[in-house]
Chains A and B, each alone.
Chain A
Amino acid sequence: MKSWLTTTDHKRIGLLYFWTAFGFFLLGGLEALVIRAQLAKPDGIGLSAELYNQMFTMHGTTMVFLALMPLSAAFFNYIIPLQIGARDVAFPRLNAFSYWVFLLGGLFMNASFLAGPLFGADRLSVAPDGGWFGYANLTERQFSPGPNIDFWLLGLQILGIASLAAGFNFIVTILNMRAPGMKMLRLPPFSWMTLVTQFLVITAFPVITVALVLLMFDRFFGTHFFIPAGGGDPILWQHLFWLFGHPEVYILILPAMGIVSEVLPTFSRKPLFGYTVVVYSGVLIGFMGWGVWSHHMFSVGLGPIADSVFSATTMLIAVPTGVKIFNWIATLWGGQIRFTTAMLFAVGFIAMFIIGGLSGVSHAAPPADLQQTDTYYVVAHIHYVLFGGTMLGLFAGMYYWWPKITGRLLSETLGKWHFWLTLIGMNLAFFPMHLSGLLGMPRRIYTYGAELGVTRLNVISTAGAFLIGLAMLVFLWNIVRTRRVGRPAGNDPWGGATLEWAIPSPPPVYNFTVIPHVESRVPLWPTERHGPMAPLPLTPPAPIHVPGGSWWPLFTAFGLPVMAIGALSHHLWLVLVGVAIVIVGIYRWAYEPFEV
């Protein structure tokens, strides 16, 4: 227990990230099922408007910040040091700090479900209810007087700190900790996409932090940044939020694209087609992601010039995305494709992402978007991209790296059930949403009239959502079963090409007995000029220093929710206690002896 609380091992932190994020993923999924149950019938099944608004707000917030991002982070943590031939990340204690801040931020945000009685209200009444996008001026004190939005904006500020710390950590790790010979253009594609993602994190999160601080000042100290009557402007919130929000979309999708770029070559027995083009298109997407934010705001009425410019930049971003898809298909072309579960999820990712990309082009055209935005058509689009894309990519990564991480192979039979139920479920759930949107169903409504004519479409969506829920039960059963009877994996069950497959599963605490010298992009495969890398020695020839554990990351992280609770309950002294905890923690951390 103590060793887990003080751990600085990137592999253990990766596991902590995984289980925490997976728990939040299941919670966000339950919220989705509540939403779908309510919408299965015109006029609902009895959920109040207030509870429904909390459900969709927390579903979005949870899936983006507490499930998809940290599930990617689990793979960054576990896999990146292994792929680049390092013993750990650059700043192991900062890495632990990131995790604890994420955990505490997530718990703080979700505690809002139970916190009602502390504010003289019922349970399930003070959770955030302003949407994951928290549009001002609805989220100002005048229109949202309760603590709901306070939980949201304080929780997100805490989570932002976790993301920023991890972002810097992984940039330094990938740039500085690569094994000898691993030039940037020999970096595995997953590591490359992680690098791009982290640059987006450290540039985008300051933007939302600014927005959240301004909103916090409005709510707590009576400023008027987003209040028209006081000279402020609610549209400013939209610009700041989407200036963060669109890079955030690529923060969510690029890691999954990286995973798919690892899985496809392994199971086609061919190197990634057009490696440099795939890498550069990822970098280009990272840059272009900054120039498209107002396509979330076409209905605001920014004028035809702004609409045209953002429409053009948005359409342009389809080009590097398309290039990636063509290179993936070319990777499959001429290969010897083995349909493992990981491969099925990777191919499923491509097939579903194409649909999400095409519907994306249809609302890159502002006039068409004026009919589609804020309807279920857009709900369909984001779920094809973030579930059909990111989530299927993450499942591919789970099946691919599970044997590396646990030493045991997940059941392929159950895996295939998991895949097909997920694929059928998601298409049943999300495809009809294109139609219900085009037929006039707005999003974020807790009820609709039978006269709208979209009842059956909603019934189908609900059935699909529960099918996805069933698929998750199959996956959970697969996990439980594998712990007991899973087949041992050995170093390399798939015939992978990258360094993580050269070491035992699960890897020893020091990862590599000897840091390998890297000669090509596919070190474990033969190439025209090189044979496969020689096996590493079974035991380290010299003693290896591994950093010891530390309490201070956890201690320091603990100060942040204390500050947030102080702000929430309007107790300045409690905020100061939190500040003191953080200062003491950082001080002790800085002066902690190197050898423990």
Chain B
Amino acid sequence: MPRLRSLWFLLTAVCLGCGGSFPQSTLAPKSDFSAAIDALFTDIFWWAVVVFVIVEGLLLFAIVRYRARPGRPAPRPVHGHTALEIGWTLAPALILVFIAVPTMRTIFATAGHAPEGALRVDVIGHQWWWEYRYPALGITAVNELHLPVGIPVQLDMTSADVIHSFWVPALGGKRDLTQGRTTRIAFRADSAGEYWGQCAEFCGASHANMRLRVFVEPDTAFDAWVARQRAVPAAPARGSLAERGRQVFGRGACIGCHTIAGVSRGTIGPDLTHLGSRATIAGALFPNTAEYLRRWIADAPSLKPGALMPPQGIADDDLTALVAYLQSLR
């Protein structure tokens, strides 16, 4: 049935001419959490189809069958019918019981903590980027969340400023991040892949640009990623372009806001220690290329309205060096 339902949606979508893949679809569950939601929605969807067909059918039948035609006698002034009233009160109530029971079951099944031994990640929402801290592993990631496949995960979430909402449809439902509170979701991703998400609670000018990626990886790939994140990137070779970039970084305003392990300790902006290893920049908005890095550093607010990093008046060749340095941070 779920397959049939998804098929129906996809057919409609394709008929309407979308085609292609849907990296942020709610209809392709890849975790126990999202699969439970999908099963429940499928149930409700079919009940809705049944009710839709019956009620719209009755309505259509009535307006076709009872349209005024010349010569028909005046209608009988019926005022009501007690048995009918009771019937059409009980029928929807009964259907709702069939919806409510699996609903309650799913609420409690998906609301619990992750089991012992789960990987825990602290998620902190910022206007307009995501910070992930892995307390047991001692690492911090930004915008791109890496998770192992098949292992229970619990995200403990809060916000540094306004309310955000963490949403990766393939992995589960959304949950708000509120300053002063900790909320959580727990799930187990069941297949490796790259999943898209974005902030779902309106959070100001660049709400639309607060995107994220989740990389669900097999154990070995995940362990390798963790090992890389734990290591401090090698200092750039003497006399290299990156070396000069590091000097630009150190004497500019960068160090006030950004951390690079062993170089600076700013905490207002995202940690850049392993920037070079990321697929995207600026809240998963742009691919991590030299070109986008240049434009981003030169004038971030023009690419992402409201971005807190002001345009940096860095000379052209300094900027080239800085980008080379940042790309070397793998």
Q: Which residues of A are in contact with B by a Cβ distance under 8 Å? A: 48-50, 53, 130-131, 135, 137-138, 143-144, 228-229, 233-235, 268-271, 273-277, 299-301, 303-304, 307-308, 311-312, 315-316, 318-319, 322-323, 325-327, 329-330, 332-339, 347, 350-351, 354-355, 358-359, 361-362, 364-375, 432, 435, 438-448, 451-457, 460, 525, 527-528
Contact = CB atoms under 8 A, between A and B. Distances in A.
A332 B66 contact: yes
Q: Which of B20, B34, B79 has the most CB of A within 10 A?
A: B79
A455 B18 contact: yes
28 contacts: A137-B161, A143-B127, A143-B161, A228-B178, A235-B178, A235-B181, A269-B74, A270-B75, A299-B173, A299-B176, A300-B178, A301-B175, A308-B108, A311-B100, A319-B89, A322-B88, A325-B55, A327-B80, A358-B48, A361-B44, A365-B106, A374-B165, A439-B25, A439-B26, A440-B22, A452-B24, A453-B20, A456-B18
Contacts of A326: 55, 84, 88
A370 B163 contact: no
A64 B29 CA distance: 36
A362 B25 CA distance: 17
B21 A337 contact: no
Contact of B44 (A233, A350, A368, A457): A368
A49 B306 contact: yes
A176 B99 CA distance: 44
A337 B67 contact: yes
B162 A456 contact: no
Given A131-B202, A362-B45, A448-B208, 13 more contacts: A269-B74, A270-B78, A273-B78, A273-B79, A299-B174, A300-B178, A308-B104, A308-B107, A334-B76, A358-B48, A365-B44, A435-B16, A452-B22
Given A299-B173, A365-B40, A435-B16, A49 B208 contact: yes
Contacts of B66: 268, 332-337
Contacts of A347: 59, 63
B196 A440 contact: yes
Contact of A361 (B23, B48, B208): B48
B80 A274 contact: yes
A437 B75 CA distance: 45
A239 B130 CA distance: 26
A50 B208 CA distance: 11
A369 B165 CA distance: 13
B133 to A, nearest CB: 19
B16 A432 contact: yes
Contact of A138 (B26, B167, B203, B206): B203
B194 to A, nearest CB: 11
A447 to B, nearest CB: 5
B202 A444 contact: yes
Given A131-B202, A299-B176, A347-B63, A367 B21 contact: no
A48 B305 contact: yes
A457 B18 CA distance: 7
A368 B106 CA distance: 9
Q: Which of A315, A372, A528 has the most CB of B within 10 A?
A: A315
Contact of B100 (A269, A315, A527): A315
Interface string B92-111: 11001001100110111011
B103 A367 contact: yes
Interface in B178-202: 178-181, 183-184, 196, 198-202
Nearest to B47: A361
B80 A351 contact: no
B77 A367 contact: no
Contacts of A273: 78-81
B225 interface: no
B23 A440 contact: yes
A318 B96 contact: yes
B23 A452 contact: yes
A299 B27 contact: no
A371 B96 contact: no
A271 B77 contact: yes
A234 B48 CA distance: 35
A154 to B, nearest CB: 21
Nearest to A267: B68
